Amino acid sequence: MTLEKDILQQVAAASEEAALEAIRVATLGKKGSISEQMKLLGAMSPDERKVAGAALNVLKDKVADAIAARKGVLQEAQLEQRLASEKIDVTLPARAEPRGTVHPVSQVWEEVVQIFGDLGFAVAEGPHIEDDFHNFTALNIPQEHPARQEHDTFYFNEKPDGSRMVLRTHTSPVQIRTMLSSKPPIRIIAPGRTFRCDSDMTHTPMFNQIEGLVIDETSHMGHLKWILAEFCKSFFEVDDVKMRFRSSHFPFTEPSMEVDINCSWEGGQVKIGQGSSWLEILGSGMVHPNVIKAGGLDPAKYQGFAWGLGLDRIAMLKYGIPDLRAFFEADLRWLRHYGFKALSVPTLPGGLS
């Protein structure tokens, strides 16, 4: 019995197949311990041999079974280990890091929407291909007005009735569309593409503007100035921004002003809030009564203000990008340098940039 216990303990302790095989040879093999016992049976009396022989046969079977069972356990453990070490997670993304970036124009677009959204403005839209009425006439720019030439307009071919569609030269037509389709109080911004036949370091044939429009019964220039100053502080993430309000002229506003922002261009880098240069970022003013009328509203009752902001301009200023043309060249190296992480969405509480 101690022999049995001894062997079964050894089997249970074996940690690899080679050790099991050694135990089998040492017990059941020709010169194994059990085989040696068998040899002693010949010298026994028939009765003794019967009892001892039966017991040895039982022991032989037990040991063989124990070895086979242990072998199964070891093989299974080995398989588990191999599967674990060769595991491939097919749900992992094929590329470790997303390589695309958010274009500075998209980033700034979202930042501006966040800021004005917080101030209670909704986002409005209009088509890129506009008719003459919305792009010019309704904005108090009649047929022979010189502003039509100043806009370097891209015209489409004449229609049979002599009219021509245009690529909108500014986002201001969205003012008209909004007034015609909604009731005051109106507080909207309209970000979008605009088109003019012009190209240099700060002008491209396609560029982006953000229109703003407030129409109600009481809003005045003081509100306009406050909103623009608040916007600039929020957008440039500073406590104070030097702004210059210059009186100007637009057919669709009276009075009108242009707003410049203080910057420096030293070393080919543009920096905001320092130096002695100014960059024009927007035009604004009180909406002209003729425009309110064209929008289907009574100028004796309603008043308000509007502005048109150069989206690419403020992106250049904020992120120190010297040449506007690079925005639209789709140069991947440029995008990797100036682009933003895809998942860092700008929010006011979380930070805009």
Shortest distance (Å) from residue 138 CB to ligand DAH? 13
Q: What b/e readout covers 71-99, taking b as 16+ CB neighbours within 10 angstroms? A: beebeeeeeeeeeeeeeeeeeeeeeeeee
Judged by DSSP in three states, 340 sits in: strand
Does the footprint of ligand DAH cover residue 235 (CB under 6 A)? Answer: no
Interface map 294-313 toward ligand DAH (x if CB under 6 A): ------------xxx-----
| Closest among 167, 176, 175 to 128, alpha carbons compared | 167
d(CA 212, CA 186): 10
Does the footprint of ligand DAH cover residue 195 (CB under 6 A)? Answer: no
| Among positions 126, 192, 283, 295, the unique one binding ligand DAH when judged by CB under 6 A | 283
**Is the Cβ of residue 220 or residue 336 nearer to ligand DAH in the bound state?**
220
Angle, CA of 129, 133 and 136, to the nearest 5°: 85
Shortest distance (Å) from residue 304 CB to ligand DAH? 10
Shortest distance (Å) from residue 306 CB to ligand DAH? 3
**Is the Cβ of residue 70 or residue 134 nearer to ligand DAH in the bound state?**
134
Interface map 238-267 toward ligand DAH (x if CB under 6 A): ------------x-xx--------------
d(CA 10, CA 4): 10
**Interface positions, 57-116, toward ligand DAH (CB under 6 A):** none
- What does DSSP assign to residue 276? S
Does the footprint of ligand DAH cover residue 204 (CB under 6 A)? Answer: no
Does the footprint of ligand DAH cover residue 172 (CB under 6 A)? Answer: yes
**What would the 3-class secondary structure string for 101-124 be?**
CECHHHHHHHHHHHHHHHCCCEEC
| Among positions 173, 285, 295, 304, the unique one binding ligand DAH when judged by CB under 6 A | 285
Does the footprint of ligand DAH cover residue 284 (CB under 6 A)? Answer: yes
Shortest distance (Å) from residue 161 CB to ligand DAH? 27
d(CA 170, CA 192): 9
d(CA 319, CA 65): 77
Does the footprint of ligand DAH cover residue 211 (CB under 6 A)? Answer: yes
Residues in contact with ligand DAH by CB under 6 A are 170, 172, 211, 250, 252-253, 283-285, 306-308
